[in-house]
Amino acid sequence: MSPIIHTHQLRVRYGETDQMGVVYHTNYLNWFEVGRTELIRHAGLTYRQLEEKGMLLPLTDASLSYKKPAKYDDVVEIRTTVAEISPLRLTFAYEIYRLPEEELLVTGKTMHVFTSTDLKPIRLPRSEPEVYQWLESQHRGEE
């Protein structure tokens, strides 16, 4: 089965572009964060609630591949999946499309580790079984 794809749309704001009206490259990483935040929110959780449970997801690696530029006032869709999951690490994959053309603009991945609030690694599912089970079901393609 394929991972479940979570989608979130936004309109490119002027402040996200350079003088040519093209989205500045670092904004795609911000949009990746929007995608994973909304994916977790879909579970009925927020990052704040994860933190209150004593769990953080610090970023350890990021990769992006630029295909075409997004431009001012474009509507883009961020598609986020749980690409890999283990008791120690979590990898999200992203695709950003321009709508309504469904034109692929950027692909990428971010890797995170599960840590306590003092940044010590923790193992899931032992510490948060329901969070781990939900993320794993997203990876397996089960809603």
Q: What amino acid positions are annotated as catalytic residues?
A: 18
Q: Which helix (H) or strand (E) holds 7?
A: strand 6-11
Beta bridge partners of 65: 107
Strand boundaries in 25-87, DSSP class E: 59-66, 75-85
The half-sphere exposure of 6 on its side-chain side, counting CA atoms within 13 A, is 23
Number of helices (H) and strands (E) in the chain: give both, helices first.
Answer: 3, 5
Phi and psi for 33 in degrees, rounded to 5?
-60, -40
